[in-house]
Amino acid sequence: MKVHLSTHVRHYTHGAATVEASGGTLEAVLLDLDRQFPGIKFRLIDEQDGIRKHMNIFINNDKARELKAAISPGDEVHILGALSGG
Amino acid sequence: MAVASKAAPRKRATKPAATKLVGAKKPPAKKLLTKKSAPKRKAAAKEVSGGAMGSGPVSLLVSTMKGAFTLKSNATRSKWTLSGPTMLGQVINHLAHDPRTRKVRVMGAKTGHLGPTIYYTKDGGKTWKEASKPPAFPKKEGGKAVDANFFVTPGHKSQPNVWWAGTIPVGLFKSTDGGDTWEPVDSVNNHPDLANEAFGAPAPGGPYTHSVLIDPRDADHMYFGISCGGVLETTDGGKSWNHINKGSVSLFLPTPDAEFGQDPHCMVMSPSNPDVLWQQNHCGIYRMDRKDANWVRVGDNMPKAIGDIGFPVVVHPRDSETAWVFPMDGTEVWPRTSPGGKPATYMTTNGGKSWKRQDKGFPKTHGYFTVFRQAMKSDTQKNLGLYMGTTNGEVWVSTNAGGSWKCVARWLPRILAIDVVEGGR
């Protein structure tokens, strides 16, 4: 599936705005991302599995609240910087 | 839109282009540490190798809210050249160099959006790698998450690859591989007193873990400070920690002389006599002879109109009784600006019995800045250099022990820390 990335983390993907990753849950997708781009997951998800408060992750148009969120083939994941700080 | 291949290389790059990142990985062994009473420290010789005197060019590593910068001087420290930024846009809480290896530097970083991490270089800053395992608390129900790597420092000279990191919220982490992987120090992070809300209570910006000090005579003897939480000491290499706050007060708690909960802003160990500690606290300036285990509020000898509140304190590299502070306004609603809008350092040469104002070169009026706890340092030269980074992005230099000051850089982002590298590196 496609994972669309905000500028904040594109230094991990060498500038790529969209990458491919696989997994049946958000956690699995993020682990696959981290396998490809080491370090990216921890910048997005803390050690207690919380989504960093100034980052938003959408599965299609739905905001993900937890890593257990299911992802189906054909879904798209959007990793976005939250509108915070004005 | 570009689509990255699945076989993306592990090499990382970041902007600006001058900053290079490459990947790495290697997990160290983990130790479970338990708390017990700290034994008495053995007596030690008074003077150690703190008398080394540097010369020549100086580099200042300047950590700011928006990246790291470097200021390099000429041989006489009369001219300074600014370079950078490295990691533009990242909050660099602390960039420190390693005097043991000359080329290693470690920085705690985060951004407004992304979580905290550590970067390190082994070539003097030409290329940077992100830690493959940055500080993180163990995963557990209700467990803590690192919000910032606030303080980093190289370990004892006998442990060349060891680094320590203090975090927000309260946490101590150790790297044994030069900053690539970090393990939690359980004796601190699981300290039973953390259950007490006075221990690690949120100071503005969070409960900071800072001022990790290592006795140059004994790698097992360390101190660190917590804002708010107080000062802790170990004499067994971190297996156990004792509170060491007697004499320092916490006027923001119902029990001002509590065992812990004080708010040390900055603590330093005398390089020439490691049994002398200095502390700029939220509630005053203190000095301790370790054998007395009692903080003495030498800030009571400061002019009353100035008070003894501030963030940093610096002790002379060759004289444990000579120290400097940069007071801030801690009256009424705590403006935390230079008292009266008139910045000045204050110097003592007699262990805090008296203080001399040093304001030559600073604004005479309307100078409303301050200096954070990690942003005032000295070098070791005969004509002692003092260096300060201010909250309004200025770097001030004195090459006569504070006798006069000169602004050598301005318009930088808010400065969080300064580290001094001698020898033209």
pLDDT digits (tens, 9 = 90+) for B253-306: 888 888 898 999 999 999 999 999 999 999 999 999 999 999 999 999 999 999
Query: What's the pLDDT at B192?
Result: 86
Backbone angles phi, psi at B202, to 5 degrees: -65, 110
B15 vs B297, residue with greater confidence: B297
pLDDT digits (tens, 9 = 90+) for B173-210: 999 999 999 999 999 999 888 777 777 776 666 689 99
What average pLDDT score do residues B76-101 get?
A: 96
DSSP code at position B189: H
Burial B75-105 (b: 16+ CB within 10 A, else e): eebeebebebbbbbbbbbbbbbbbeeeeebb
Mind telling me how many Å the CA of B133 is from chain A's nearest CA?
8
Query: What's the pLDDT at B258?
Result: 87
Pick the closest to residue B183 from B199, B198, B195, B171 (CA basis).
B171
pLDDT band at B423; cut points 50, 70, 90: confident
Inter-chain touch A36–B6, beta carbons under 8 Å: yes
Query: Do A44 and A53 contact (CB within 8 A), yes or no?
Result: no
Interface probe for B, chosen from A10, A11, A33 (most Cβ of B below 10 Å), is A11
What average pLDDT score do residues B15-34 get?
A: 39
Coil, helix or strand at residue A24: coil
What average pLDDT score do residues A5-11 get?
A: 96
CA distances to A76, B26, B163, B404 from B72, in Å: 48, 34, 25, 20
Inter-chain touch A11–B12, beta carbons under 8 Å: yes
Task: Give me the torsion for CA of A83, B3, B7, B10, rounded to 10°.
Answer: -40
The vertex-B377 CA angle with B162 and B21, nearest 5°, equals 50
Query: What's the pLDDT at B273?
Result: 97
Please provide the average confidence, as pLDDT, over all residues in chain B. Answer: 88
Query: What's the pLDDT at B25?
Result: 37
Q: What domains are defined for chain A?
A: 2-81 (3.10.20.30)
pLDDT band at B37; cut points 50, 70, 90: very low
pLDDT digits (tens, 9 = 90+) for B367-389: 999 999 999 999 999 999 999 99
Which position has the token pair 């008398």?
B51
Query: What's the pLDDT at A86?
Result: 58
Pick the closest to residue B362 from B335, B388, B382, B383 (CA basis).
B388
Q: Tell which B residues from 146 to 185 touch A, by Cβ distance under 8 Å.
A: 146
Chain B residue numbers with beta carbons less than 8 Å from the beta carbon of A13 are: 4, 8
Query: What's the pLDDT at B49?
Result: 45
Q: What percent of chain B has pLDDT over 90?
A: 76
Is the pLDDT confidence value at A62 over 60? yes
CA B267 to chain centre: 8
pLDDT band at B68; cut points 50, 70, 90: very high
Mind telling me how many Å the CA of B112 is from chain A's nearest CA?
7
Is the pLDDT confidence value at A23 over 60? yes
Inter-chain touch B145–A47, beta carbons under 8 Å: yes
Is the pLDDT confidence value at B160 over 60? yes
The vertex-B80 CA angle with B76 and B83, nearest 5°, equals 140
Strand partners, B315: B323
What average pLDDT score do residues B81-105 get?
A: 95
Q: Tell which B residues from 73 to 112 touch A, by Cβ distance under 8 Å.
A: 111-112
Q: Establish whether this prediction's ipTM goes over 0.85.
A: yes
Q: What HEC string does B13-82 produce?
A: ECCCCCCEECCCCCCCCCCCCCCCCCCCCCCCCCCCHHHCCCCCCEEEEEEECCEEEEEEECCCCCCEEE
Residue of B nearest to A50 (CA): B145
Query: What's the pLDDT at B102?
Result: 78
Query: What's the pLDDT at B39?
Result: 41
What average pLDDT score do residues A40-53 get?
A: 97
DSSP code at position B333: T
Inter-chain touch B113–A17, beta carbons under 8 Å: no
Backbone angles phi, psi at B189, to 5 degrees: -70, -20
What average pLDDT score do residues A22-38 get?
A: 98
What average pLDDT score do residues A25-52 get?
A: 98
Report the distance separating Cα B24 and Cα B22, nearest Å: 7
What average pLDDT score do residues B93-114 get?
A: 95
Is the pLDDT confidence value at B27 over 70? no
Q: What is the pTM of this model?
A: 0.89
Is the pLDDT confidence value at A57 over 90? yes
Strand partners, B125: none
Chain B residue numbers with beta carbons less than 8 Å from the beta carbon of A82 are: 113
